[in-house]
């Protein structure tokens, strides 16, 4: 029991994700788009938001931005 080699899953998954993103943007051009309130990057409606009718409530491009914005707001409140 000496080998603790972990398979480089993260590395091998990256190119595939990029490929999928590049393909996805092509036929999503007609979809609704709005800027993320945290990072300012434009992002598009997603199936899971549209299906649940949540598009109007979605303000951030990702969960990371959402939690980052929430943490920032909490920090600002504490500082004042």
Where does this chain bind Zn ion (CB under 5 A)?
36, 38-39, 61, 65
What is the DSSP secondary structure assignment for residue 41, as one 8-state letter? -
Distance CA(42)–CA(74), nearest Å, equals 24
Cβ proximity to Zn ion: between 1 and 66 the closer is 66
Cβ proximity to Zn ion: between 38 and 58 the closer is 38
- Closest approach of Cβ 12 to Zn ion, in Å? 26
- Closest approach of Cβ 39 to Zn ion, in Å? 3
Cβ proximity to Zn ion: between 42 and 51 the closer is 42
Q: Rounding to the nearest 10 degrees, give the CA dihedral for residues 55, 30, 35, 15.
A: 100
- Closest approach of Cβ 60 to Zn ion, in Å? 5
What's the CA angle centered on 47, arms 9 and 36, to 5 degrees? 80
């Amino acid at each position: 029991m000496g080998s603790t080699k972990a398979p480089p899953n993260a590395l091998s998954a990256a190119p595939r994700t990029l490929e999928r993103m590049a393909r996805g943007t092509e036929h999503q051009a007609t979809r609704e788009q709005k800027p993320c309130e945290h990072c300012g990057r434009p992002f598009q409606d997603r199936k899971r938001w549209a299906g649940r009718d949540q598009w109007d409530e979605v303000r951030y491009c990702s969960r990371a931005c959402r939690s980052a914005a929430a943490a920032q707001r909490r920090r600002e409140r504490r500082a004042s």
